[in-house]
Amino acid sequence: MASIALARAYQRSFDARPHVTLAVAGGALTALGDAVAQACQILLAFFLGSMGVMEGRDTQHIKVKFRDLYAKALITNWKVWPTTQFINFRFMPLSYRVPFQQTCGVFWTLYLSLLNAKEDAKQDQEDAMHRTLEGSHP
């Protein structure tokens, strides 16, 4: 019901002052788009940092993980989610949109987990190599 009331208020405003209404609506939608774009960057940084903490990594390892994974995951995010949303809203019937989105979310989480695990294995191998090298030199 709130969406109907909002649509009616928008229509009344548009009928009375079309230029002002379009400017305000355009600005609000631009701000919303900017907030969504910034949120994915912040949430990805939070994911990488929190995974490092939960894995018991020190600050240096978390920084290396962030340096190695953040840009790659963010670029992949920008490739995957706009396409996914386009498919979802353009081709999916309304009753399948939520299951489709949830399925894509599961695969996105799987991708991030695999990316994180690969980086962990790399860091563990590098740590073992450093320990071996330090142990061989008295």
* 13: its two tokens: 């405003």
Q: What is the pLDDT of residue 22?
A: 76
Residue 39 has pLDDT above 70, yes or no: yes
Residue 121 has pLDDT above 70, yes or no: yes
Q: How confident is the model at residue 100 (pLDDT cuts 50, 70, 90)?
A: very high
Q: What is the pLDDT of residue 3?
A: 73
d(CA 67, CA 123): 13
Q: What is the pLDDT of residue 28?
A: 72
Q: Tokens 């009928």 — which residue?
A: 15
Q: What is the pLDDT of residue 138?
A: 56
Q: What is the pLDDT of residue 130?
A: 87
Q: How confident is the model at residue 17 (pLDDT cuts 50, 70, 90)?
A: confident
Higher-pLDDT residue of 64, 30? 64
d(CA 134, CA 138): 8
Residue 113 has pLDDT above 70, yes or no: yes
Residues 41-97 pLDDT 10s: 888 889 889 988 998 999 999 999 999 999 999 999 989 988 998 998 899 998 898
What is the pTM for the complete model shown?
Answer: 0.68
b/e map 107-138, b = 16+ CB within 10 Å: ebeeebeebbeebbeebeeeeeeeeeeeeeee
